[in-house]
Amino acid sequence: MTERRIYLDYAASTPVNARVLERMRDVALSNCANPSSTHAAGREAQDIIAAAAGQLGRLLNVDPDTVVWTSGATESDNLAIGGSARHRAHRGRHLVTMKTEHKAVTDMFEALVKEGFEVTWVEPDGNGLVSPEVFAAALRDDTQLASIMFVNNETGVIQDIEALGAICRERDVLFHVDGAQAVGKLPVDLGALPVDLLSLTGHKFYGPKGIGALYIANRPGCRVEPILFGGGQQRRIRPGTLPTDLVAGLGMAAEVAATRIEADLKHLRGLRKALWDGIRSVDGLTLNGDPDGFPGILNVSVEDVEGESLLLALEPVCVATGSACNSKSQEPSYVLRALGRSDLQAQSAIRFSVGRQTTMEEVEFAAARYRDAVARLRKLAPGAVA
């Protein structure tokens, strides 16, 4: 086991599924046309894209026409939040979100503040959950948009999207959900959930990087202003030449996911239990997040150990000290600080995230490596007793 890497960072990115790779290769080799072209090859590319929209639509239980292709969840978040807030600005400029959202969401809200919008940042409880009562209290008569993440990328906390969305519907507030960590991993039925806008990206559920989508509900008042300009593609909501092979890959990832979500969840539950059982005896260990959260993520802090040192000591196990988008920062996780963790607790946090290809043997090795690494680092700490 020590001869090879053990990848336990599936929340950052997942390996591309073999059927996805095959589909992308076939499309890349058979059709180089611009899907905006009206000749036969262009029409074929359009058909490939339409087929992928159908695959994604079936996974989400929505009309394929409600899917807008983007470069990934960051662009989808920006388009959904910025585009809808600006479209409804004449009705009101108050927005609501949480302090534990992804940077693609929090930074977009900060940008809107500079444009004259007002944001209420809802506080989570110690497990990272927001109660419907706290959420409802944050809404005002002039609130036009609320954005809450489905599954938190650092802690795996699952929010009650159905209850929060119902509150928004009652108040005529648009409800955006960052679904990057949920789509393809949990059942997400947008035909039943009161969600107006949902962002997703392919590489979080065994599809390619560089391709994502935004669901925009087909109902009155749910529209977004574009943030990109330069063409008439996708009803001018998101112009630009679509990468046919990447779109086809995301579509196939959706088709594969639709057949195995329950099997994947069962696998992940077993892995997470084994991992937690293997490390829970470590003194000074704290579980970050809800114990009933997404089973693919386990985030823990430990006393008297610094996170970056622990990260290196865990090699060849590949894990994270925080979200992938923020891993270059030396600041403690803002998500964990919002949960009430101290700077030292946040800096010692390690996020394990497992997936389809993770084996029980890998998880058991990682648990043993974690126990040993904590013990070794504590012995090296200043003031440690020899």
Residues 6+ apart with CB under 8 A from 286: 300, 301, 302, 341, 345
How far is 106 from 229, CA to CA, in rounded Å? Answer: 24
- The residue type at 183: V
Measure CA 12 to chain center. 9
How far is 286 from 299, CA to CA, in rounded Å? Answer: 9
Q: Give the three-class secondary structure for 356.
A: coil
Q: Using the 8-state DSSP alphabet, how is residue 234 labeled? A: G
Dihedral angle sign, alpha carbons of residues 176, 181, 182, 184: positive
Catalytic pick from 32, 168, 318, 325? 325
How many other C-beta atoms can be found within 10 angstroms of the C-beta atom of residue 126?
Answer: 11
- The answer to whether 62 and 191 are in contact (CB under 8 A) is yes
Computed over its alpha carbons, how large is the radius of gyration of the chain? Answer: 22
Tokens in use for 85? 């807030």
Tokens in use for 214? 């935004």
- The answer to whether 8 and 311 are in contact (CB under 8 A) is no
- The answer to whether 238 and 226 are in contact (CB under 8 A) is yes
Kindly state the helix (H) or strand (E) to which residue 195 belongs, with its residue range: none
Question: Is 32 an active-site residue?
Answer: no
Catalytic residues: 325
